[in-house]
Amino acid sequence: MSPPDIEVVDDQHVPRDVDVPLERLRDHLDNTWRLPPGLFGWLCSIDHKSIGRRYIVTAFIHLLLAGALAMALRVQLAFPEQQILGPDQYNQFFTMHGTVMMFLFAVPMVEGVMIYLVPLMIGSRIIAFPRLNAFSYYVYLVGGLMVWASFFLNSAPDAGWFSYPPLAGPEYGAGKRSDVFAQMITFTEVAALAVAVEIIVTVLKLRAPGMSLDRMPIFVWSSLVTSFIIVFSMPSVVLGSTFLLLDRLVGTHFYNPAEGGDVLLWQHLFWYFAHPEVYIIFLPSIGLASHVVETFSRRPMFGYPAVVLALISNGLLSFGLWVHHMFATGLPRLGNSFFAASSMTIAIPSGLVLFCWLATIASGRLRFKLPMLWIVSFFILFVMGGLSGVMLASVPLDLQLTDTYVLPSHIHFVLIGGAVAPLVAATFFWFPKMTGRLLNVPLGLVQWMLFTIGGLSAFGSMFLLGLSGMTRRVYSYPHTMQWDTLNLIASVGAWLLGLSFVLFTINILWTLSRPTKAPENPWQASGLEWSLPSPPPIYNFVLAPFVSSRTPLWDSPGPLPVVGGLRFDRREVLVTTVVEAEPDMRDPVPEPTVWPFIAAMVTSVILIASMYAPQPVAWGAIPFAIVMVAWLYPRRMVSPPAASVGPQAHQA
Amino acid sequence: MKPHLTLDIRALPSYRFGHRSPLWWGTLGFIVIEGLGFIFAIAAYFYLQNQNPDWPLGRHPGLLWSSLFTVLLLLSEIPNTWTKRAAVALDLGRVRVGLMMMSAVALLAIVIRVAEFTTLNVWWDSNAYGSALWVLLGLHTAHLLTDAFETFVMAALAYIGPLDARRFPEVEDNQAYWDFVVLAWIPIYITMYWAPRWAAGAVL
Amino acid sequence: MNRAAAILAGAALAGCSRNPSILLDTAGPHANEIQWLFWLFFWVCAAVWLCVIGLLGFATWRGLRRWRDTPAPATAPAEERRLVAWVSTGVGLTFAILTLFVGASYAVDRKLISLDSGPTMEIQITGHQWWWEIQYLGETPSAQFTTANELHVPSGSTVKLKLRSSDVIHSFWIPNVAGKRDIIPGRENEATIRVDRDGVWHGRCAEFCGYQHAFMGLTLIAETPDKFEKWKASQRLPAAAPQSDEEKRGQEIFETGPCGACHVIRGTSADGHSNYAPELTHLKSRSSIGAGAAPNVKGYLGAWILDPHGIKPGVHMPPNLQNADDFQALLAYLETLK
């Protein structure tokens, strides 16, 4: 007996997707899933592909801007004792370069790729919590704008991308510079945490029927592990940066040793996050690279279970390394030894993944297309970086090498080789699916040569500079140190690397201006996303796919098996069980809405205002609460509401 | 080309309770994130204690209001569980009563919390000990306020509508979040109000 | 201004300027041990890298050979087993190499700890933005003295350094001698060094500490115990009394003007307060000024006093414009502080 006030509608008689012909179904779906027109529609969009693209484009712009800063840094350092950039400018430039690259490019870029690809790879129409997804993008966007605004106002953070107090604290960090840094953390981590929760729920609950956990694509596993790393590591840095803001703004003493605080507390809280952060950047990248390797080897990845276990181990181990950033700070030796051993250990899972790739390539039927060249760069550059990392894991050796140019050498080798190269490979690989066009190959070849040679020269020279005693974060150096030649080579290498990105940008823009002629599956890849038109329609799959293998397109020639029964007169998505992906629920999807945008703007105003005074946090809570009510308030369903109610219904 | 149909899922419902609902997982995700924030804050407290042999660096915070608050929260698990069960049973009448009860509880908790702040006996800018105490209490208060507000809105929604069965899992989720507010308070309460006393050598 | 010439001249005056490498010209047992460890790591890592690239080339060649074949739904079991063997070998080798590395690091670490025993003297070093305060500790207060930016040690002796910060995080590093140790405000860290080779060794701050982190240099002079004792004895003495009228006038300007508020010269009235700035009692005994920013010659000293920011922009010392006579007197006085 159902209570009187609840709407009781049995929608079992409403027509479903398999009840109409395919062409009619496409028309219905186009209609049901359409956006409002114009700019308003753009602001209302909660389509994961649209939001993913925005993340990718915005992150790419940050890459180019921060890269331009690096070009300027290398102009200053190309010759000794130059005064092109004075110390204050240089300190802002190098801090912005690192900060923007790590927080505004690398993490958001992999987030954007996850947001775009994961629902397609698992056969879903949406990412979980699509409105939150849109909200997260706008928060990220404003955070980035705030940081660049501070730069152009001569108020950029200037204490390095890890912003150690007391240099970044209230006594020695004048102006708003370090406040901008600390609040940027809040912006970007709020966005990242939201995305992480969305990805976890998407992967666990929205997979196509039949896609049990052991049939998930490797990138989906990467995304899942990465999202867990985000959830478990970011609260640390959010708390740490909040402590810094409080110290600077309202006089708390978390990092003030004169009143019981501790300078190293910041380092622990920061590095507890920032070491896993590099795995947040690295794991999705090797996931992407795994797809490239598998596709062009034309055989399923060798050792799939081992690769998945390696990803999970990397994720878990990454939490046990952070003190290796603090070996020189005078912590007890026993602790240092533990972290040295764990830092060495993490090389094993990464090595395992690389060996599995080699086995796949060697036993495959290799078609050497342009994306594979970037896998070669990965091996050349990342392995070099990883090995220098093993050197840094040794405590006595680290005490000589840390804080010298060996560090920038190591981090750039692993980031350029281990993250950027796979991202470029992924761009060449998925560009035809995203846009319907193939990127230009000759231009890509030139880009690749500049990238690899530039990277090797720049960061190889830096390694040698570190061995020669050059410390990092110096705005200039005396001629008498005999560092001139290596610095010049490093600068030339860096400029070549920069040039490669200019060519990359030209390639992308030029290709986008050409007609869409790419075949649907130019690489004959195996994933579900390759069964869709290029670019995919807003609702992704016309009918929910049914999956019975790890490489569906290779194992099901002919029409893909599908699951029917979803409504097409309202937005609906299929929810499945966590492990076996059995169908469990038809979940209505929210309509496009502008409230996430508005909520993000209110949040941004509160966050920016609270860099100047604490009251906005209190007053701002009121408009924020109102907007959240408007956002979450349930609407009547456009078509008859769902919900059969009563005991028999939810026992299905 | 006719699609190759393997399954027809039209009979599936459009709402689920507990771990079968995506929203439940989302709520769990945010509970984990915020719980970790608390864990790191508590860790920072003990880290700072470890750095300072003469901890605590000020007077102990008052026990009266904080203990009252603790008792209230623990007792509130009774109406909270009742409300959750009503939601799972899709019983609108009892859900309405339950949400009104929980709204009253939340309001009372906020009032006591305000009193608690006035008896902390040390300022956030006196020293690191004061800073840690204020941040711990402040973080928990933020969660209390958020869930209180959500409970008020849900209570209003239970009367105003529009309602369909999908609202019931949301009530269950909200009350699960209240469980978190209660559960997270226990270690924070012990850290703030008892750890300084133990550090100073007080016997329980 | 031509800082290039300044530094060059300073270097020529300071004696030979070596590249402060961690690998070449090691000056003591700490650096020697680490150098050995580095070469072990380097050659093994280089071999690993070449191996991996070689394997990539081999794998690519094998894969390319079969590119015309149709993709097989699954690889033959025999081939899969071979691949498992190869991958397992790879992982096993990785584990073995890492074990070697951990073992070697541990051994060197133990050796370094053993080198720390039996220090014969203690020096307290306080890091400031952007200079080093160096205080030689002794049994009696009269045996203690303070200098700045230049450290003398007797070669062959184990010296314990107590490291403190007066402001932000710095890091003490002399590459040819030993690994670095951070200087953390609120804590006292320790480092032990032993320099076995006489000579001039260059160090620098190794933790970003603000504007002039790049030019927070340190000079370490290792000399025979006799020479060291002579140096120590002369450093313990207060400043020589000025002789000429001009020099006396210079001392008066120092004491009554802004200089004496920050700088200490023992034997004058500008004594008894803390060192907010480098102690100048034996200023002219040092090879450079501004922590390595300029050579310690009259012309540069004068330029520094008039406007330190022309040489080292951002330092905490303000410019000091004076009339010509006073300025010459001050310089004349400072030149006597040997």
Partner residue opposite C98 with nearest CB, options A328, A344, A384: A344
Give the model's pLDDT for residue A7: 58
> Model confidence at C4, in pLDDT bands (50, 70, 90)?
very low
Neighboring chain C residues of A482 at a CB cutoff of 8 Å = 19
C259 within a domain of the structure (yes/no): yes
Alpha carbon distance C330, C336 (integer Å): 10
d(CA A220, CA A202): 10
Label residues A58-87 b or e (16+ Cβ within 10 Å = b). Answer: bbbebbebbbebbbbbbebbbbbbeeebeb
**Identity of the residue in B17, B149, B157 whose CB atom sits nearest the CB atom of A650:** B17
The shortest CB-CB distance from A265 to any of B6, B48, B126 is to B48
What average pLDDT does this structure show over C213-221? 96
Q: Check residue B164 and give its pLDDT.
A: 81
**Model confidence at C14: pLDDT above 60:** no
Using a pLDDT cut of 90, give the percent of chain B over it: 84
Any A CB within 8 A of C153 CB: no
Q: Report the C-alpha gap between C83 and A267 in whole angstroms.
A: 43
Higher-pLDDT residue of C125 and C23 is C125
Rounded to an integer, what distance in angstroms lies between the CA atom of residue B111 and that of residue B142? 14
Cβ-Cβ contacts under 8 Å, C3 against chain A? 81
Q: How far apart are CA A221 and CA A228, in angstroms?
A: 11
Q: Flag whether residue C108 sits within 8 Å of chain A, measured between CB atoms.
A: yes
Contacts of C207 in chain A (CB under 8 A): 164, 328, 403
Nearest by CB to residue A396, choosing from C62, C179, C209, is C179
Mark whether C207 and C232 lie in a shared domain.
Answer: yes
| C150-154 β-sheet, strand order | C150-154, C217-223, C199-204
Tell whether C68 is within 8 A of chain A (Cβ): yes
> For testing the chain C interface, which of A356, A481, A486, A549 should be mutated: the one with the most C CBs within 10 Å?
A481
* Chain A contact for C50 (CB, 8 A cutoff): no
Mean pLDDT, rounded, for B122-142: 96
Q: What is the pTM of this model?
A: 0.95
Show Cβ contacts of residue B37 under 8 Å, excluding neighbours closer than 6 positions. A235, A238, A239, B139
User: Is pLDDT at A640 greater than 50 in this prediction?
Assistant: no
Q: Considering only CA atoms, which of A322, A399, A340, A323 is closest in space to residue C99?
A: A340
Q: Is C31 in CB contact (< 8 Å) with chain A?
A: yes
SS3 state at A587: strand
pLDDT at A646 over 60: no
All residues of chain A having their beta carbon less than 8 Å from the beta carbon of residue B163 are: 5-7, 634
Rounded-to-integer distance, Cα A96 and Cα A596, Å: 29
The pLDDT of residue C12: 42
Q: How confident is the model at residue A647 (pLDDT cuts 50, 70, 90)?
A: very low
Interface contact A587-B22, CB threshold 8 A: yes
3-state secondary structure of C161: strand
Nearest Cβ partner for C22 among A258, A363, A467: A467
Indicate whether C196 pLDDT > 90.
Answer: yes
Task: Tell me the C-alpha distance between B125 and B137, whole Å.
Answer: 15
Identity (one letter) of the amino acid at A497? L
What is the ipTM score, two decimals?
Answer: 0.95
Contact A337 C106 (CB under 8 A): yes
Confidence of residue C20 (pLDDT cuts 50, 70, 90): confident
Three-state SS at B8:
strand
Distance from CA of A296 to the nearest CA of C (A): 10
Q: Report CB contact under 8 Å: C63, A354.
A: no
Classify residue A258 by its DSSP letter: G
Q: Between vectors from CA C30 to CA A472 and to CA C156, what angle results, nearest 5°?
A: 125
Does the pLDDT at position C3 exceed 60? no
Closest A-chain CA to C189? A330
> Considering CB atoms only, which of A16, A588, A625 is closest to B10?
A16
Are the beta carbons of A633 and B12 separated by less than 8 Å? no
Which CATH number goes with the domain that contains C223? 2.60.40.420
Q: Does the pLDDT at position A378 exceed 90?
A: yes
pLDDT of residue A4: 45
CB pair distance less than 8 Å for C34 and A306: no
> What does the pLDDT read at residue C13?
38
User: Tokens for A42?
Assistant: 């753009």
Q: Which residues contact C54 (CB under 8 A, 6 or more apart)?
A: none
* Coil vs helix vs strand at C316: coil
Q: How many domains does chain C have?
A: 3
**Predicted confidence band of residue A635 (pLDDT cuts 50, 70, 90):** confident
- Identify the CA nearest to C181 among candidates C207, C157, C199: C207
pLDDT digits (tens, 9 = 90+) for C151-163: 999 999 999 999 9
pLDDT greater at residue B165 or residue A328: A328
Q: What does the alpha-carbon distance between residue C19 and residue C249 come to, in Å, rounded to a whole number?
A: 42
Domain that holds residue C277: 245-335
Topology of domain B59-196 in CATH is: Four Helix Bundle (Hemerythrin (Met), subunit A) (1.20.120)
| SS3 category, A396 | helix
Residue B153 has pLDDT above 80, yes or no: yes
Assess if residue C68 is contained within a domain.
no
CB contact under 8 A, A366 and C63: yes
**pLDDT, tens digit, 9 for 90 and up, residues B77-125:** 999 999 999 999 999 999 999 999 999 999 999 999 999 999 999 999 9
- CA pair distance A396, C109, nearest whole angstrom: 6
Residue C200, φ and ψ in degrees, nearest 5: -105, 125
Asked if residue C72 is part of any domain, the answer here is no
Nearest to B3 among A562, A634, A652 (CB): A562
Distance from CA of B133 to the nearest CA of A (A): 11
Report, as an integer, the average pLDDT of A34-55: 96
CA distance C143 to C135: 11
pLDDT for C89-112, tens place per residue? 999 999 999 999 999 999 999 999
Contact A228, B45 (CB under 8 A): no
Mean per-residue pLDDT over chain C, rounded = 90
Q: Does C136 lie in the same domain as C104?
A: no
- Does some domain include residue C106? yes
Confidence of residue A10 (pLDDT cuts 50, 70, 90): low
Q: How confident is the model at residue A637 (pLDDT cuts 50, 70, 90)?
A: low
pLDDT surpasses 90 at A88: yes
Using alpha carbons, list the distances in angstroms from residue A409 to A136, A458, C158.
33, 8, 34
Q: Is the pLDDT of residue A311 over 50?
A: yes
A203, A213, A304, B184 from A283: Cα distances, Å: 16, 18, 15, 32
pLDDT at C30: 96
Q: Which two tokens stand for residue C327?
A: 């300025």
The stretch A360-377 carries a mean pLDDT of 95
pLDDT at residue C66 in the model: 82
Structure confidence at residue A6 (pLDDT)? 60
- C116: Cα within 13 Å, side-chain hemisphere: 14
Average pLDDT over residues C282-297: 94
Name every chain A residue with its beta carbon within 8 A of the beta carbon of B51.
260, 262
User: B202: which strand partners?
Assistant: none
Asked if C150 and C193 sit in the same domain, the reply is yes
| Binding-face residues of C in 179-238 toward A, CB within 8 A | 179-182, 184-187, 189-190, 202, 204-214
Mean of pLDDT values over A328-347: 94
| Residue C11 lies inside a defined structural domain of this protein | no
Report pLDDT digits (tens) over C47-73: 999 999 999 999 999 999 887 777 665
Contacts of B among chains (3+ CB pairs under 8 A):
A
Q: How far B203 CA sits from the closest chain A CA (Å)?
A: 24
Three-state DSSP at C182 gives strand
Q: Give CA separation, A66 vs A59, A62, A72, A180, B191, in Å.
A: 10, 6, 10, 16, 43
Measure A363 CA to nearest chain B CA, in Å.
Answer: 33
The pLDDT of residue C301 is 95
Joined tokens for residue B44: 């920072």
- Per-residue pLDDT, averaged over A339-359, amounts to 97
Q: What is the dihedral of CA A39, A41, A44, A50, to 10 degrees?
A: -90
Of C236, C259, C289, the residue that ends a domain is: C236
Which is nearest to A488 in space by CA: A501, A477, A499? Answer: A477
- pLDDT of residue A638 exceeding 50, the answer is no
- Last residue of some domain: C199, C217, C236? C236
A368 touches chain C (CB under 8 A): yes
**Contact state of A367 with C104 under an 8 Å Cβ cutoff:** no
Q: Are C240 and C338 in contact (CB under 8 A)?
A: yes
Residue A644: pLDDT band by 50, 70, 90 thresholds? very low
Q: Find the CB nearest C91 among A167, A351, A479.
A: A351
pLDDT computed for residue C16 by the predictor: 42
Average pLDDT, integer, range C190-207: 95
For the cut 70, the answer to whether the pLDDT of residue A187 exceeds it is: yes
Q: Which chain A residues touch B12 with a CB distance below 8 Å?
A: 565, 574, 583-586, 652
Q: At what angle do helices A347-362 and A263-297 cross, to 10 degrees?
A: 10
Q: What is the 3-state secondary structure (H, E, C) of C22-74?
A: CCCCCCCHHHHHHHHHHHHHHHHHHHHHHHHHHHHHHHHHHHHHCCCCCCCCC
Q: What is the rounded CA–CA span in Å between residue A427 and residue A31?
A: 30
What CA–CA distance (Å, rounded) separates A372 from A424? 10
* CB nearest to A351's CB, from C67, C94, C167: C94
pLDDT single digits (tens) A384-426:
999 999 999 999 999 999 999 999 999 999 999 999 999 999 9
Position A483 scores a pLDDT of: 95
CA distance C17 to chain A (A): 7
Whether residue C223 sits in one domain with residue C180: yes
Chain mean pLDDT for chain A? 94
| List of chains touching A (3+ CB pairs within 8 A) | B, C
**pLDDT score at C274:** 83
Give chain B positions within 8 Å (CB) of A641. Answer: 162, 164
Q: Do A364 and C34 touch (CB under 8 A)?
A: no
**Cβ C263 vs Cβ C289: under 8 Å:** no
The predicted pLDDT at position A634 comes to: 84
Decide if C21 is inside a domain: no
Tell me how far apart the alpha carbons of residues A104 and A59 are, in angstroms, rounded to a whole number.
6
